[in-house]
Structure 1
Amino acid sequence: MNNRFLLSSISLAILALTSQARAAAPQDVAPPAAATQDAAQPAAASQDAAQPAAAVQDTSGASGAGAQEGGAAVQAEMQQVVVTGVATGGVRKLDSAFSITTATDEQLRQAAPSSTADILKLVPGVYAEATGGQSGANIEVRGFPSGSDSPFVSVQLMGNPIYPVPTLSFFEGSSAFRLDDTVERVEVLRGGPSTIFSNGQPGATMNFILKKGSDTPEGSIRFSTGTGELRRVDVFYGGKIADNWYGTIGGFYRNTNGVRDAGFPADKGTQLTGTLTRKLDGGEVTFYARRTDDKNAFYTGVPLISSNEGRTITEFPGFDPLTGTLMSGEMRRFTVEAGPGRTLNYDLGDGRGLKSTVFGIDFAQTIGGWNVSNKFNYFDGDLNTIAMFTGNNPLTMGAYNAGALSSYRNAVAGSVATTATATYLDGTPVADTQQVVQAGLWAVEKQLQSATNELRVSREWIKDNTVTIGGYFANYSSDDVWYLGNSHLMTATPNARLIDVRLNNGIVVSNAGKEGPVNYAPVASYDGSNTALFIANEWKINDRIKVDGGIRRERQKLDATVSNLTTGDTDNNPLTVYNNGTSMPTSSNTALTRTDSANSFTIGGNFKLARDASVFARANRGHTFIAFDDLRNAGTQARVNDRGLLPTPTVEQFEVGFKTASPLYSAYVNYFRTDFDGIAFQQILADGTILNSTSGSKGQGVEFELALRPVRDLTLTLTGNWQDSEYKDNPATAGKRVQRQPRLQGRFTPSYRIPMGDNELQLYGTYTYIGERWADQANLQYLPSYKTIDLGAVYRLGEKIELRVSGSNLDNELGLTEGNSRLTTGGSGPINARPLFGRTWEASVMYRF
């Protein structure tokens, strides 16, 4: 452990708190008893704000939703209780000694997220690339170095991770969750005490809280339509079943062609969620279950024109980057030549879908003076990826033919190729001037299973000191079958046409569009287990000051069986070069295993300046463990056990912050510093080559959530962050900016409510600015800044009917979220990159009963 970091962090936290304690007298605050209720009393830990559910329901009911800009909403914010990252019960958000963002179901609807990951646009310090569709987002957190997916974001349901590993190849946590009207709120914790609780995520923890039944029955049905011929129905009902028994049930049905119309449904699926709650003496137990069957198209790059070394991005001729996609009905159903005589069929319409079952139990009760909590979760799901991944940058058909002639001119003995003929599948010739691209049609079958359990017991062991002792246990597996490569040649046009190419010496370069073999086809089974023990203590020094700290010891064991690979010709015909060198498993396997242990800690404190204003300071040290894919990429047991090649990554963080809320304004501002060591990176190139590297990073920044209510019913909100983060320790990238993350991003959201007797109209909008970024670690692929405008309105007729309309990216901004991740170069000219979705709209009508 970096002793200097630890000592300086602890010293800063203690000095900041004690110096301010001396400067102010406790009677200056004179808070009411409820506001200073000590969390050391387990049974009343959440009484700081009259129970978590009640605090949020003030703004989520039929009438409460219409009072978001009124006094009730302000009071709800001031009394809001959060449960994520808290050792026991809950704590008022204003009194929490960590950075956390919350959103009610109404705030989520106003944000109009395009996916689960897109919710994170509400969270300062987080940048989510949600342009791939419902699944497969890339999410970056406050300077944490990550190349893709979301290794530093854990998605939880009712306080337990849905799948305990946040990221695997072709899986990231937000892909395992779909948002609907059964969700009461979301809490997103950044850093803080999460390094010692649950799965020990040092980055961001995204915790979804489901609605529970109450004594007052409530229900709703919502019909939605919008861009891409959206057809969606959401339903929810909850209430009392019998004495001390409460339940809810809800879900959705959806069908849409999507913003980028591929000629087949982009998203099609259903979801059903239910809860059953039993009230106990001094607590309650909630059972919950969710079944999801959803198919989602996955969008990758499209052709664009880059100039001025990437500083200027313009439309590729004939291709609308805001609505176009290369996918088409012609290639929807494609084949994979997996081996001699073995051909598999796949459907691009399946995309990156989710077919899963989740079951959980959330138990909390005070027993004999002990506050006992147990959270159990079981997950079983298929998260396959059947999708197109763009490869090399666009070029002309003539240039492609010239390359084919150069490669295969003398491939046939005694016959020199002199011409190449390119035709569409119907036999029509393709002009030499036609722009073409190469894209792989990949198939990845991924079956995930996990069971996690976290047990905590808490008690006040001496006056004003509450100790929490707990354990976290996880078992999880992944069964993978991959077929990468499978490159196809197609026109660089929306809904592209496939192209066949033949040389006059008998060489078949492309057949039914297929111009490259499967170049990486591992079959693997992975099993993992984690066991962690932790102890935390919270000390109430006086009515102004609370200090907490904790330590965690965790052990992880991984086992893997990975097929050995060979290459061969699937049809034993050397003239059909498109399937020569096909990767395929042999009859042998490599067994890999690794065991790691790591320690984590957190220490922080909160000082109340007034009843509704406080400052906090916190230091922590966390880690991430080697994952399944790191194990596979190491390749041999000797390399797996080489800690120099595969170290256990560590992260150290320090932050100080200020929180306040009043009827006129609210502010949540914090400064952070981060320091990373031993982070592993992976990049899969167009030809199947896998690049691996290890480096660290360091950074600092400021995050802010500000709101001003200058007049009744008007709220002006500004959220965002500034950061400066760069790589270290690796000579190839040291000093370069951490990839994909903007130095500056912000969202300005005005909202105005217009009362109309028993009815009301609410208008809202958001101006978003995302600063320039680099798409790669070497800082070669430049991504320019972009700005978007979103608008929305909701009209409420009494407490029963709600009409809502919203529009996103109304200015049709051409902003890039990703460069060409299949290449390691940048520059000007034709490129493949992933832009924002173009202008979209959605309208819905909801009836509450």
Structure 2
Amino acid sequence: MKVSAKMTLIAVAVGLSISPSVLSQEQQVAKSDLGFERIIVTGTSRPKEKIESTNAITTFNEAKLEQLAPHSVAELVRSIPGFHAEDTGGETGNNVAPRGFPLSTQTEFTALLRDGMTVFYNQDILFTQNDRFTRLSNFVGSVEAIRGGASSIFVGSAPAGFINFISREGSDDTQGDVFFETNSNNRLGGQGWVSGSIDDQTTYAVGAWYRKDDSARDPGYTANQGGELNGNIKHFFKDGSGFTRFEFNKQNDRSFFFIPQPLIGSTTNAKTIPGGMDIRDGTTGNSAGARLLTLNNAPSGDIDLDIADGNYANVTYFGNTTEIEINENLVFSNQMRYTDMLTTFTGIINVGNAESLASKAQAIYAANTDVLAGAMVDGNLSYDIRDAGNGFVLADSSNVNTYNTNGYGINAGFWHRRFEGDNFQNETRFNYTFDDVGEGTLYANFGLFFSNINGHVTDYRINTLQSVEPLPQRLDVVFTDAQGLDIASGTYKGIQAGSHGFADIVYSENTLAPFADFEYDLEDVSFNLGLRYETLKADGEAQNQANYTIDSFASDTDTVNGNITLPFGDGTYRNFDVEYNEMAWTIAANYKFNDDLAVFTRYADGFRMPDVDKYMAITNLTSQEEINQFNNSERRETQPASTVMAEVGIKYNEGDVAAFVTGYFAAADDLFFNVPTVENGQVVQRQAFRNTETLGVEAEFNLQITQDWRIGVSATYQSPEFVNTPAAQYLDANGSSASIDINGNLPVRVPKHFGQLTSSYQFEDFSWGMAAIHGSYSWSGKRYADDANTAELPMYGMLNLGLSLENEDGYYLRADVKNLNNSEGLSEGDPRAGETVAGQATTFNARVVLPRTFSLTIGKRF
């Protein structure tokens, strides 16, 4: 089916991809600028035209979103200058690095908002990041993205910027859009929305999406499946003084998460391991052959895990926004949102490089020579390689080196994180307008934000042995005697000795943040001053862990695998109670020369508060003094990170040319990383602190070549580097501790240049209707997989093209292809196999961009 679907789509698209649906009549006559006349509501005390804003802001209207047709938040971020996206994780779980900042999690310094408020306030908990529960669909009517600027004032812990997804709302007329889609990955899905009025004062909007498919790297099971329901009702008060709006969202979805896959060669010349998963469309370790892991009667309870759950999210939120004009100068507004969330991450994370299974067997034998003495037959080690699920013999010591052609196995961490929690947020604002202040008008916005989070995080990280083949499977190494009888197994259900992990923490967070934002407008000049003082109080208990041998809870073990130890909770807990207080502030000015030219400048001092992953560190402390320091909020690894940004920009629109260019300086201090390094096949976590500085320029251009042909550019050039950072510790080739000066180096996976070029052409109307084509080329410049800048990740680019047709009745068809050039670019090296000095081993792990995908959409708008 997959081949026939692909051939059909090739014929329809004639090799064209990511494209828009044909623009509506209203969209066709839109100006060819960057939306400078658009009224924005994000990052400002009052709605204003974009050209008057003191922020670096990128906007997406409905037409632009349809042209880009992003399948993930990170794919949309590729159109935002200053934000570098690694969109190779799949539909969710992707990384966004803003303005040269390195990341220890996925979106550490940026926030995603839905209609002006985060879905979950602490939005970057590891493997529970914000793009898991803030999804794109055609119910999102527009997007506004703030880079730097006033971000720290309006959203806590988002000093580098935030992206606001604005939902559709109803109007007097009934409107809607419904489409069905398929693609070369066997996708079946659809999206739709409808809006209108209930009565003269009340409107509604409702939207939904659903899809299932095998993903771009078919793991042998349904990889993506689920959907979302959105809705809102807005009632305008009869006296015209304001409105109240009720919202609802329900999401139940699981999506495949791609991780670095084993490759051969080097990061500058990556190739498929012979017999292994293909670099273009092979799996990444999450496959049907290693799908299930069950451990009954474990000290922390039964464990029953399924990789098919992938990035799972079951999220419900509802809320209300009310705005009342008390008098002609004073406006009161209040927004509240309650979110109940269960998210899990279940996947295979390679924690080492591919190595020969023969070497693996020799290492197990060397650690258990007394028990396994009988496995040495005529001077040769005797063993089987077996399927860990059914015990079937796949290879033995005589032919192991040709098993799957390569004879390789890999340390594959079976990782599972479960986060369950709820969050209540409320933000109250009073906006007062002072007329005739001097020669201008002063807009004063006073607000109070409150958030309460109750959460429970459970982690299991279990080291398993996996084959290196198109659909990897979990393996057991079973040692045999001269008669071929079993002596003992070096693994248990594929679980091997080595690096394992466990965490269990229940916590509560309360955030209180008064803030104020002032805008003073003269005729052509506006000034902005903002302040936010945030207090975070967190308390809870983290379970201590102990190591348990497998034979202490499992009966089907032997003398070797029964002695493998796994960490679980020991039933005792350490309580914590911490408090942090941080101030963010910013000052800015904008000068509008005329309706088509303006300049602005801004300085901002921000912060990023700690989160639950930092609280877990209390279980690693060894003395009461360290525990007291922790609870007194004095431990360096839990301190908030501080950031500074300065920027100056120009906005220009004249005739057929529009430009928005911003120069910036960005610095971050005391960024905390748990740097993983592989030592003798085990991952050792090393604490590290980094300071960075970046000088850069980000630009957006829009050119109207002809009446029907547009070209757009979103590009960034920057020079990020480590500064004032202590020498980095790492393990050298001999496994000994060493250090290296990384100051002046590029932070991990952060490029000096990246961007996107777009082009669209609207054909003249013909008998059937209207037609348009759209193309985009996205690129990421050279990066490094390690702090020492020894493992280069070369520049790569991806071409997307598309064709769309629409008739006057609103019926439309889109044919798209992503990654038309089938790029094999590496978006990241392996964050778990040596971040400090990666070196160039014969085999390595890297995450590769998603392969070419064809899609077809048929819909109706009304």
TM-score by length of 1: 0.89
Inter-CA distance 375–480: structure 2 relative to 1 (3 Å threshold): same
Structure 1 position 839 matched with structure 2 position 852: yes
| Residue 592 of structure 1, CA deviation | 1.2
Q: Is the 8 A contact 2:375 2:382 kept in 1?
A: no
Residues 435-480 of structure 1: per-residue CA shift (max 9 Å, x gap): 2222122221111311111111111235211211111111113201
Q: Within 2, Cα distance between the matches of 1:663 and 1:165?
A: 44
Q: Is the 8 A contact 1:116 1:175 kept in 2?
A: no
| Residue 229 of structure 1, CA deviation | 0.2
Q: Within 2, Cα distance between the matches of 1:287 and 1:718?
A: 38
| Residue 645 of structure 1, CA deviation | 4.6
Q: Is the 8 A contact 2:543 2:574 kept in 1?
A: yes
Q: Is the 8 A contact 2:214 2:223 kept in 1?
A: yes
Residues 389-438 of structure 1: per-residue CA shift (max 9 Å, x gap): 11211122222222222222235699979433323442232532222222
Residues 162-193 of structure 1: per-residue CA shift (max 9 Å, x gap): 11113112221111122222111111111111
Q: Is the 8 A contact 2:288 2:473 kept in 1?
A: no
Residues 24-63 of structure 1 aligned to structure 2 (within 5 Å):
none
Structure 1 position 328 matched with structure 2 position 323: no
Q: Within 1, Cα distance between the matches of 2:643 and 2:539?
A: 25
Q: Is the 8 A contact 1:517 1:579 kept in 2?
A: no
Q: Which residue of 1 aligns with 2:11?
A: none
- Name which of structure 1's ranges 613-622 and 108-117 shifts more when overlaid on structure 2: 108-117
* 3-state SS of paired residue (1:494): coil
Q: Which residue of 2 aligns with 1:603?
A: 587
Q: Which residue of 2 aligns with 1:539?
A: 520
Q: Which residue of 2 aligns with 1:18?
A: none
Amino acid across the alignment from 2:647: E
Q: Which residue of 1 aligns with 2:382?
A: 419
Residues 713-754 of structure 1: per-residue CA shift (max 9 Å, x gap): 110111110011112232223322121111011211111100
* 3-state SS of paired residue (1:822): coil
Q: Which residue of 2 aligns with 1:616?
A: 600
Structure 1 position 738 matched with structure 2 position 747: yes
Q: Which residue of 1 aligns with 2:330?
A: 370
* 3-state SS of paired residue (1:571): helix
| Residue 62 of structure 1, CA deviation | 9.9
* 3-state SS of paired residue (1:169): coil
Residues 363-394 of structure 1: per-residue CA shift (max 9 Å, x gap): 22211231122221211111101111112111
Amino acid across the alignment from 1:638: N
Structure 1 position 467 matched with structure 2 position 444: yes
Q: Is the 8 A contact 1:152 1:166 kept in 2?
A: no
Q: Is the 8 A contact 1:62 1:848 kept in 2?
A: no
Q: Which of 649, 660, 665 is the aligned partner of 1:657?
A: 649
Residues 74-223 of structure 1 aligned to structure 2 (within 5 Å):
74=32, 77-88=35-46, 90-199=47-156, 201-223=158-180
Residues 137-173 of structure 1: per-residue CA shift (max 9 Å, x gap): 1210111232331111111111011111131122211
Q: Within 1, Cα distance between the matches of 2:111 and 2:343?
A: 17
Structure 1 position 753 matched with structure 2 position 762: yes
Inter-CA distance 644–633: structure 2 relative to 1 (3 Å threshold): closer
- Name which of structure 1's ranges 828-837 and 259-268 shifts more when overlaid on structure 2: 828-837
Q: Within 1, Cα distance between the matches of 2:334 and 2:789?
A: 46
Amino acid across the alignment from 2:812: E
Inter-CA distance 341–588: structure 2 relative to 1 (3 Å threshold): closer
| Residue 102 of structure 1, CA deviation | 1.3
Q: Which residue of 2 aligns with 1:723?
A: 718
| Residue 607 of structure 1, CA deviation | 0.5
Structure 1 position 432 matched with structure 2 position 408: no
Structure 1 position 481 matched with structure 2 position 476: no
Residues 625-657 of structure 1: per-residue CA shift (max 9 Å, x gap): 122111212444234232445432111110000
| Residue 289 of structure 1, CA deviation | 0.6
Residues 276-295 of structure 1 aligned to structure 2 (within 5 Å):
276-280=233-237, 281-295=240-254
Amino acid across the alignment from 1:444: R
Residues 183-207 of structure 1: per-residue CA shift (max 9 Å, x gap): 1111111111121123252112011
Q: Is the 8 A contact 1:355 1:381 kept in 2?
A: yes
- Name which of structure 1's ranges 693-702 and 415-424 shifts more when overlaid on structure 2: 415-424
Q: Which residue of 2 aligns with 1:525?
A: 506
- Name which of structure 1's ranges 489-498 and 602-611 shifts more when overlaid on structure 2: 489-498
Q: Which residue of 1 aligns with 2:423?
A: 450
Q: Within 1, Cα distance between the matches of 2:781 and 2:507?
A: 39
Q: Is the 8 A contact 2:92 2:131 kept in 1?
A: yes
Q: Which of 327, 331, 345 is the aligned partner of 1:385?
A: 345
Amino acid across the alignment from 1:583: P
Structure 1 position 232 matched with structure 2 position 189: yes
Q: Is the 8 A contact 1:515 1:578 kept in 2?
A: no
Amino acid across the alignment from 1:586: D
Q: Within 1, Cα distance between the matches of 2:573 and 2:133?
A: 30
- Name which of structure 1's ranges 733-742 and 150-159 shifts more when overlaid on structure 2: 733-742
Q: Within 2, Cα distance between the matches of 1:785 and 1:337?
A: 47
* 3-state SS of paired residue (2:286): coil
Q: Is the 8 A contact 1:66 1:760 kept in 2?
A: no
Q: Is the 8 A contact 2:751 2:782 kept in 1?
A: yes
Q: Which has the higher contact order (CA 8 A, sep 6+)?
A: 2
Q: Is the 8 A contact 1:339 1:582 kept in 2?
A: no
| Length, aligned pairs only | 783
- Name which of structure 1's ranges 766-775 and 411-420 shifts more when overlaid on structure 2: 411-420
Q: Within 2, Cα distance between the matches of 1:388 and 1:206?
A: 30
* 3-state SS of paired residue (1:72): coil
Q: Which of 531, 540, 549 is the aligned partner of 1:551?
A: 531
Q: Within 2, Cα distance between the matches of 1:67 and 1:73?
A: 10
Q: Within 1, Cα distance between the matches of 2:697 and 2:563?
A: 52
| Residue 523 of structure 1, CA deviation | 1.2
* 3-state SS of paired residue (1:629): helix
| Residue 490 of structure 1, CA deviation | 2.3
Q: Is the 8 A contact 1:676 1:696 kept in 2?
A: yes
Residues 578-607 of structure 1: per-residue CA shift (max 9 Å, x gap): 762110101210011210111111110110
Q: Is the 8 A contact 1:574 1:580 kept in 2?
A: no
Q: Which residue of 1 aligns with 2:478?
A: 502
Q: Is the 8 A contact 1:410 1:416 kept in 2?
A: no
* 3-state SS of paired residue (2:616): helix
* 3-state SS of paired residue (1:403): helix
Inter-CA distance 315–688: structure 2 relative to 1 (3 Å threshold): closer
Q: Which residue of 2 aligns with 1:807?
A: 817
Q: Which residue of 2 aligns with 1:33?
A: none
When the two chains are superposed, the root-mean-square deviation of aligned CA atoms in Å is 2.2
Q: Is the 8 A contact 1:517 1:582 kept in 2?
A: no
Residues 798-844 of structure 1: per-residue CA shift (max 9 Å, x gap): 14111111111111111111211111133142111110011011110
Residues 522-541 of structure 1: per-residue CA shift (max 9 Å, x gap): 21112111111112211113
Amino acid across the alignment from 1:83: V
Q: Within 2, Cα distance between the matches of 1:172 and 1:216?
A: 37
TM-score by length of 2: 0.87
* 3-state SS of paired residue (2:634): coil
Q: Which runs of 5+ in 1 are unaligned?
A: 1-60
Inter-CA distance 567–465: structure 2 relative to 1 (3 Å threshold): same
Q: Is the 8 A contact 1:62 1:799 kept in 2?
A: no
Q: Which runs of 5+ in 2 are unaligned?
A: 1-19, 402-406, 482-486, 622-626, 729-741
Residues 685-723 of structure 1: per-residue CA shift (max 9 Å, x gap): 674533322221111100001011021111011111001
- Name which of structure 1's ranges 282-291 and 100-109 shifts more when overlaid on structure 2: 100-109
Amino acid across the alignment from 1:394: A
Q: Within 2, Cα distance between the matches of 1:799 and 1:777?
A: 57
Q: Within 2, Cα distance between the matches of 1:842 and 1:62?
A: 13
* 3-state SS of paired residue (2:400): coil
Q: Which residue of 2 aligns with 1:696?
A: 691
Amino acid across the alignment from 2:287: S
Q: Which residue of 1 aligns with 2:9?
A: none
Amino acid across the alignment from 1:535: A
Q: Within 1, Cα distance between the matches of 2:479 and 2:243?
A: 73
Q: Is the 8 A contact 1:443 1:482 kept in 2?
A: yes
